[in-house]
Copies of this chain bind each other. A is one copy, B any other.
Amino acid sequence: CIVRATLAIEKETPENERPETFLRSGDDPHSSVAASTTSVRARFERMIREAQDVVCAAVEAEDGAGKFTEDVWSRDGGGGGISRVLQDGEVWEKAGVNVSVVYGVMPPEAYRAAKGGDSSQNPGSVPFFAAGISSVLHPKNPFAPTLHFNYRYFETDTIKDSPGAPRQWWFGGGTDLTPAYIFEEDMKHFHQIQKQTCDKFDPRFYPRFKKWCDDYFFIKHRGERRGLGGIFFDDLNDYDQEMLLSFATECSKSVVPAYIPIISRRKETPFTDQHKAWQQLRRGRYVEFNLVYDRGTTFGIKTGGRIESILVSLPLTARWEYGHEPEEGSEEWKLLDACINPREWI
């Protein structure tokens, strides 16, 4: 496209076909481990690609009309991704399910954004590997909640000319729900599934990751959370690596049973213009969180990532009214109250 030819950032190249893998074979100069088919990198890639297929199939089936379109892209620097978007379906107005597998050498500011560390750390350029699945599903009906989930795996390699520097790995991710109206049974169902999944691995996971989620999705300048939570964890490496890979896999598999039954119940509920306007205001808060605080978004923006894939998380439409305050005791007020004062749902 001529218009965009002046862009100076590193560009993604569109591809016509999905590759079998985005990993380089054996001789990856940036990796100290062989990219074998049994490496954590390779197994994580297969996991997120399967999860993408499963979630997209479930969304299409529940929508009944909309279909995902797919963009495959590669980066000269290394790796690539598959972006799938369903726009203007019957049930969802915008649904994005992306996987990406990228590696290369990370500028120091991107490393800091990824690590979330303070700026006093100045590690220089660091070879890295990052793979993840990221999805935001925005339904049309204001009684049907937005879902977000994201599971990612991150490695840094030994720094060149610093052979003693350690190789590090982390897992991160979570699944959280953002309704405009509270249905107790939906919230209970959603959180129950998160807890069941967590409990398979460690009884301390759900309380820890539920609170982490409430803390993470905090819109500081509003004093309220984006939504009603779920689970969230980041920079996790203080457990067995195989256990965490298995945990991320189970979390990804729980997305469909946690979410789709709620959509089935709510997708055809009649609503008024006032319900829709409130949903739009809450979507404004969604935009505020993602652009101001979300680490994935800020990381993507700083690394010059594929901007359409990064910002597919934003809703189709959003609204900002000056000084809007819901009437005390109203359904809107109850939602806002739960965003300000997180509740236990189970």
Contact = CB atoms under 8 A, between A and B. Distances in A.
Interface of A: 1-4, 6-9, 71, 85, 87, 94, 96, 119, 220-223, 280, 284, 287-288, 291-292, 301, 304, 307-308, 310-312, 314-323, 325, 328, 333, 336-337, 340-341
Contacts of A312: 322
A311 B71 CA distance: 34
A68 to B, nearest CB: 11
B328 A320 contact: no
Contacts of A340: 3-4, 6-7
A4 B223 contact: yes
Contacts of A325: 1
Nearest to A290: B291
A85 B3 contact: no
Contact of A328 (B3, B71, B94): B3
A284 B314 contact: yes
A318 B317 CA distance: 5
Given A119-B119, A328-B2, A307 B85 contact: no
17 contacts: A3-B333, A3-B337, A4-B223, A6-B223, A9-B223, A94-B320, A220-B301, A221-B301, A221-B307, A287-B287, A287-B291, A288-B291, A308-B323, A316-B320, A317-B317, A317-B320, A318-B320
A261 B41 CA distance: 61
Contact of A316 (B292, B321, B323): B321
A109 to B, nearest CB: 11
**What are the 10 tightest A-B residue pairs by CB atom distance, in nearest-first order?**
A7-B223, A291-B291, A314-B320, A85-B322, A221-B301, A119-B119, A317-B319, A221-B307, A312-B322, A308-B323
Nearest to A300: B221
Given A71-B323, A85-B322, A291-B287, A307 B4 contact: no
A288 B288 CA distance: 9
A189 to B, nearest CB: 26
Nearest to A3: B337
Contacts of A321: 87, 316
A182 B141 CA distance: 36
Contacts of A336: 3
A244 to B, nearest CB: 31
A94 B322 CA distance: 8
Contacts of A288: 291, 311
A323 B292 contact: no
Nearest to A8: B223
Most central of A310, A319, A320 by chain B CB within 10 Å: A320
A307 to B, nearest CB: 5
B301 A292 contact: yes
Contacts of A310: 221
A75 to B, nearest CB: 16
Nearest to A309: B322
Given A7-B223, A7-B340, A85-B323, 15 more contacts: A3-B328, A3-B333, A4-B223, A4-B340, A6-B341, A8-B223, A71-B323, A94-B322, A284-B314, A287-B287, A287-B318, A288-B311, A291-B292, A292-B292, A317-B320
